Structure 1
Amino acid sequence: MSSTKDESPDWREAKSLSECLMYTFKSEIKCDVTFRIGEDKTIVKAHKYILSTRSQVFHTMFEGPMSETGDIDIPDIDTNTFDLILEYIYTDSSSNISHENVENVLYAAEKYMLTNLKKACETFLKKSLSSDVAAKYLDTAYQYHMDELKKLCVSYLKENTRNCLQSDYAAKLPTECIEIILMSDYLTCSETELCMFFMRWMEMQCQINNRETNGENMREMATKLLYLVRFPEVDMMYFSENVSKSGVLNSDEIISIYQSHFGEKNDLFPNQPRGPYGKKQFRSITNRFSDMHLKRSTKGLHALSFYTSRDVWLTGVVIGCPFVDWRKQSVSSCALKAELKVLSNINSHVASSLKKFQLAKENGEMYGKCYDMILSNKLRIPANQLFTCTLTMEMVKTNSVEYFCYVGTGGAPQTISDGVIVIFQNSPRSNADTDIRQGQFAGLIFDICCLKEN
């Protein structure tokens, strides 16, 4: 006799706990709470007990004197996001987090105190970090107090500053995030590029706040951030044509920046160049000459121009050392002052070094053939921009001592060091015996920023 009983398999059979729970949710089995989600109030049913065991917020919502009764409206979360939240609560799975929904999931995870789901979102963001989204993720990290993500975003921005600041979201960053960037001493872009971005950011803030885009309002948007921009390091042509005419700075501030380019102290804006971010390698070009030999000192200005194939940070210049033949001198010691300057042909910014050589008969040739003159501050050398080194040497007090200098011969007009090509050119400033073939400048000393792979 055939059986009429339903012999279909039990839905619980061979299923895990999370699979069973998810089945009851989707099938609305024993559901005892109804939510109305989003602006369209989409109906979603669930189980109070399960939600309460996973979220303190839901527990408070369902229990106690202030507990909700009837249907519960949740207008600030869309249906797709709420479904992902419930999927996590029922199954502990966060595999459906994506670029499209991660911000919404984060908001809901924060609202319902789902700590592990928030961590899953942070992990997703860290793994998907790129120049297009680094600025946006920094804002997200700041907003949701995710310290690890914040630290990673700041590091990434420093390593890839130029590309990150070109993203669509960068100009929309809140003041707190812009302050983090501007306070950094190490970035991988020029101060001019950073200034260009900051001008764009102020304009965007005016638009966001429905204010007319003018100098007064831009300055109001910037507040204290304005004094974190290192205007003395900004290219003078860009500053003159854009910043000084924008109305963002007052006349005293503009004058102080112009004066700083002529060596006067600036107390309003920082003027220390930002260094490149990453692992630095110290590199030196020391093989420009085929030979170094002694030559009677020539009075005048030694000058030589150069440019590089990529951005570097000039830290010093290698010069020929002074030498005294004590057999022909009536004194046994003397001092010689060497003054080195590096000038930009664009904005005349000067980095300098001053060395006092103490020469004595008893010490012999104590400085050797070459000497590294380290600059008082590192000078950023943008690629393909012409700079000029100048050097003067003169005796201190005693002018009667005849001295020689080591000078190079067979100088190469081009050198390559660690992938950086340096092209040398004769300078019209030179009125001594230095040019691309011979003279005082044996090489350059510079830092190369070696960034981590993205």
Structure 2
Amino acid sequence: MAKAGSNSVLEDKGCTNLSIRDAQKNIEEATDASCASPTLPQNLNREPLYNWQATKRSLKERFTFLFNNELLSDVKFVVGKDRQAQKIPSHKFVLATGSAVFDAMFNGGMATTSTEIELPDVEPAAFLALLRFLYSDEVQIGPETVMTTLYTAKKYAVPALEAHCVDFLTKHLRADNAFLLLTQARLFDEPQLASLCLDTIDKNTVDAINAEGFTDIDINTLCAVLQRDTLSIRESHLFGAAVRWAEAECQRQQLPVSTENKMKVLGKALPLIRFPLMTVEEFAAGPAQSGILSDREVVNLFLHFTVNPKPHVDYTDRPRCCLRGRECSITRFQQVESRWGYSGTSDRVRFTVSRRITVVGFGLYGSIHGPTDYQVNIQIVEYEKNQIVGQNDTGFSCDGTANIFRVMFKESVEILPNVCYTACATLKGPDSHYGTKGLKKVIHELPNTSKTCFYFFSSPGNNNGTSVEDGQIPEIIFYT
């Protein structure tokens, strides 16, 4: 395992932001104070610690007294490297009772016989924090030492101290340190902390990506984040952040910061950028001019934005809906028939819901003539205000079956309870299947959650024949 760094990862007014040297000094001062012995007559200086046991009322006090103390010590550790190395006395019995690794080191089949053991990959302050915990159950960690202490607790299999470190990090997790802590959580295999970091990044994506620690993450952490559907950031800003990361990575690898090298270091992360979610203006102003995409990719993406049928592109158009929980859907028809034609008029139906939801897309019927592509504009309009609250000009492919095909909004659409909205879909393509025996009320219910009731109403005016009873827009896809 790589050595954990000793730089500060947290800065919080509620925490003492000590350097490792200062922390070590404090530990030594506290130890000296706890080890103070009664003043003895001059003629007993040859045995200044005689009867120290009588001053300690409990086993914990006696073991605490022995912490970092030469008294009865039978092993020494040389901890750290070069000038920072520190010699720390210890007691095999105490260490073996607190750590299976130390037990194997001193008592196993290949036990060491050395009385001095070098630990160049461990920080002195972290090792002292580990020993203090083993001798006294006391936890002494801070912003400067928490990562190195976590590394040391992992190395010597002391899960209780690991838990204290993770708890400390969890309490001080913020947007500006979320990426740095995520990298460490992945390095130390702490899935609970990693999950909390990702949650923080989801909720505060812009702040997290603008923080200094973002450009320091490794490629695998970058990919883990770019894969998420729940980031709350526009795709053009995410692309800009990925380019910033690539520039920093070029410098880490001592490569010239050129377009070619930025493409190289981004590698498997680049296909995770969802270019189709950008507007054509955002794409033209940023990625199209960056040089990071090939000429063919730029042309295909411009065609994807502007023509139908759309050419294949190697980038997903699945929205980052910034939502948590399970995706849900309701279907308002009980039967499927054919044929339904299109002449440029929108299929529309009104609806209300009983509780706040967030709509991410519609399900639409496809062709009765076999596999084909449709061009489609989908909208949600607040009925009373006649205001568009969500839309996407896109397309979808169907396979000729009576299945329902997903068409998603670029951004999620908040739907308020008891407010009337109009769902609209304007399709260009061949005749399709359509739904019949429509329901005026559809109830969606998940275990341990409240019911969500949808109420459907026909839309006045020309709606290409779609109504509550028949037509298109069979499905609404949403989160509660």
TM range (shorter): 0.5 to 0.7
Give 1:400-419 correspondences, 5 Å limit. Answer: none
Give 1:41-60 correspondences, 5 Å limit. Answer: 41-60=85-104
Using the TM superposition, give the Cα deviation of residue 181 of structure 1 relative to its aligned residue in structure 2, in angstroms.
Answer: 1.3
Change (3 A) 1:381 1:148: closer
Please point out which of 164, 178, 181 is paired with 2:208: 164
Using the TM superposition, give the Cα deviation of residue 349 of structure 1 relative to its aligned residue in structure 2, in angstroms.
Answer: 6.2
Which whole-Å CA distance do the structure 2 matches of 1:381 and 1:191 have between them?
14
Which whole-Å CA distance do the structure 1 matches of 2:359 and 2:96 have between them?
59
Please point out which of 243, 247, 269 is paired with 2:287: 243
Q: Which amino acid aligns with 1:32?
A: D
Change (3 A) 1:377 1:31: same
Which whole-Å CA distance do the structure 2 matches of 1:255 and 1:274 have between them?
24
Whether 1:36 and 2:78 are equivalent positions in the alignment is yes
Whether 1:350 and 2:393 are equivalent positions in the alignment is yes
Q: Which amino acid aligns with 1:17?
A: L
Taking CA–CA contacts closer than 8 Å with sequence separation of 6 or more, which of the two structures ends up with the larger relative contact order? Answer: 1
Whether 1:341 and 2:341 are equivalent positions in the alignment is no
Partner of 1:257: 301
Q: Which amino acid aligns with 2:174?
A: S
Please point out which of 82, 98, 101 is paired with 2:142: 98
Using the TM superposition, give the Cα deviation of residue 104 of structure 1 relative to its aligned residue in structure 2, in angstroms.
Answer: 0.6
Which whole-Å CA distance do the structure 2 matches of 1:222 and 1:144 have between them?
24
Change (3 A) 1:106 1:301: same
Which whole-Å CA distance do the structure 1 matches of 2:176 and 2:240 have between them?
18
SS in 2 for 1:133: helix
- Cα RMSD between the aligned structures? 4.5
**8 Å CA contact retained: 2:327, 2:478:** yes
Which whole-Å CA distance do the structure 2 matches of 1:85 and 1:13 have between them?
25
**Aligned sequence identity (%):** 24
Partner of 1:72: 117
Gapped regions of structure 2 (runs ≥ 5) = 1-40, 45-49, 329-342, 347-357, 363-374, 380-390, 397-404, 415-423, 432-460, 463-475
**8 Å CA contact retained: 2:69, 2:89:** no
Using the TM superposition, give the Cα deviation of residue 272 of structure 1 relative to its aligned residue in structure 2, in angstroms.
Answer: 2.3
Partner of 1:118: 162
Cα deviation, 1:260-307, whole Å, max 9, x if unaligned, reads 10141433111222212237999xxxxxxxxxxxxxxxx9999xxxxx
Which whole-Å CA distance do the structure 1 matches of 2:54 and 2:288 have between them?
74
Partner of 2:59: 17
Change (3 A) 1:180 1:22: same
Partner of 1:203: 247
Q: Which amino acid aligns with 2:58?
A: S
Using the TM superposition, give the Cα deviation of residue 26 of structure 1 relative to its aligned residue in structure 2, in angstroms.
Answer: 4.2
SS in 2 for 1:261: helix
Cα deviation, 1:370-416, whole Å, max 9, x if unaligned, reads xxxx9932232899xxxxx99799xx9xxxxxxxxxxxxxxxxxxxx
Q: Which amino acid aligns with 2:130?
A: I
Partner of 2:173: 129
Tell me the TM-score normalised to structure 1 length: 0.62
**8 Å CA contact retained: 1:342, 1:352:** no
Count of residue correspondences? 339
Partner of 2:184: 140
Using the TM superposition, give the Cα deviation of residue 21 of structure 1 relative to its aligned residue in structure 2, in angstroms.
Answer: 0.6
Using the TM superposition, give the Cα deviation of residue 70 of structure 1 relative to its aligned residue in structure 2, in angstroms.
Answer: 3.6
Partner of 1:81: 126
Q: Which amino acid aligns with 1:76?
A: D
Change (3 A) 1:255 1:313: farther
Cα deviation, 1:223-275, whole Å, max 9, x if unaligned, reads 22211111122243343333223322111111111111014143311122221
Query: Who wins on radius of gyration, i.e. which is larger?
Result: 1
Q: Which amino acid aligns with 2:77?
A: F
